[in-house]
Amino acid sequence: MHAANLLQAIRHNDPDCEFRAWGGDKMAAAGATIVKHIRDLAFMGFVEVLLNLRKILSNLKFCKNDILSYAPDVLILVDYPGFNLRIAEFAHENNIKVFYYISPQVWAWKKQRVKKIRRAVDEMFVILPFEQEFYQQHNVDVFFGGHPLMDEVKNYRDNDNSLHLSKPEKTIALLPGSRKQEIKRILPVMAAAAQEYSDYSFVIAGVKGHTALYKKFIAGNKNISIIYGQTYALLNSVTAAVVTSGTATLETAIFNVPQVVCYSGSLISVFIARNLIKVKYISLVNLILDKAAVKELIQSDLTKKHLVSEIRKLLPGSENRDAIISDYNILNIKLGDAGASNRTAKKMVELLK
């Protein structure tokens, strides 16, 4: 999504540009020739990466050969650090200019990777306000143009297609994640908690292809329904949300929806993560605000009992709800106004010229 918006903004600033990319349908719609589709590249977690290591190594080799064959004026890497930092070094060694958009979370773990970034990346383009200061402290050329989610939300609001819910004040969104492993671990707890709120309706922000999985875990829950491809419309219409940790926590906050954040992973992956990752919070909301603005239920804390209790604190009339919305106002100021994609694209084109 962010890469597609960036592509459109670059073309606005440089109409003659051409893109060859690894990405998804939105990037293809933005005019990129897609070499590898993102649906074949989404491996999440330490164990999952190990299980798919042969495929990842094969992709690395293919990618390097394809870059040399295409000979681009610039290589723009987007997030995905385990793969992209290797490609950055390769491109640098072959005298190809490297821009990195959406920083690896080097401030959270593997801080030594900043040395590799300083060596192989010509310019970092960050989307979180505290990242700019981090890279400046490590003598890396960096540009912060704001968070592109602000653009995405503005585009939605300019063409408001909110859901027409019969009782929005009595509707709670469930965002169980987009990966099967997340849904399997988190949705059953969400569904169990929803049973305790029979006077509320719960709506799952669904991802196409997971229908059977959703229905398996919500069978018998008469107050849970599913919608597909309308996450923003849902967030613009509900009174509260239960959200799996990830970008969705930030999207929920931008829509001013009070939320509780959930996460549960494989025991091995979480054990490794807790020994490697050095941050106080897992949600982007809390990381940016540097405080526990929204409740995080992680691993053993993610239980039906705890979730039922935390949902209650999100409902109208709760002091906790008012405090969350107040913190969201500060968050929105930190993220910057809409126009981040264009500001970033303009800077990229200037650097190339």
Model confidence pLDDT, tens digit, residues 47-86: 556 666 677 788 889 999 999 999 999 999 999 888 899 9
Rounded to an integer, what distance in angstroms lies between the CA atom of residue 10 and that of residue 302? 42
In contact, 108 and 102? CB cutoff 8 Å:
no
Please name each of the domains of the chain with its CATH number.
Answer: 2-147+338-352 (3.40.50.2000), 156-335 (3.40.50.2000)
According to the model, what pLDDT value does residue 344 have?
Answer: 97
Alpha-helix residue ranges (DSSP H) falling in 227-318: 231-235, 247-254, 267-276, 284-289, 304-312
Evaluated on CA atoms 70, 75, 78, 83, the torsion sign reads: positive
Query: What confidence score (pLDDT) does residue 52 get?
Result: 62
Residue 38, pLDDT score:
79
Q: Is 226 helix (H, G, I), strand (E, B) or coil?
A: strand
* Cα(14)–Cα(8) distance, integer angstroms: 10
In tens digits, what is the pLDDT along the chain, a chain of 353 residues? Answer: 899 999 999 999 999 999 999 999 999 999 999 998 877 665 555 555 666 667 778 888 999 999 999 999 999 999 988 889 999 999 999 999 999 999 987 766 667 889 999 999 999 999 998 899 899 999 999 999 999 999 889 889 888 667 778 888 999 999 999 888 889 999 999 999 999 999 999 999 998 889 999 999 999 899 999 999 899 999 999 999 999 998 899 999 999 999 999 998 766 655 555 555 566 888 999 999 999 999 999 988 999 999 999 999 999 999 999 999 999 999 999 998 889 999 999 999 999 98
pTM of the model: 0.79
Question: What pLDDT score was predicted for residue 306?
Answer: 97
Residue owning tokens 């995905």: 80
Report pLDDT for 83: 87
pLDDT of residue 299: 86
Q: What is the pLDDT of residue 267?
A: 61
Reading the block at residue 270, the tokens are 């979480």
Helix locations, the chain, DSSP H: 2-13, 25-29, 46-51, 53-70, 81-93, 113-120, 129-137, 149-158, 180-194, 211-218, 231-235, 247-254, 267-276, 284-289, 304-312, 319-335, 340-352
DSSP 233-259: HHHTT-SEEEEESSHHHHHHHHTT--E
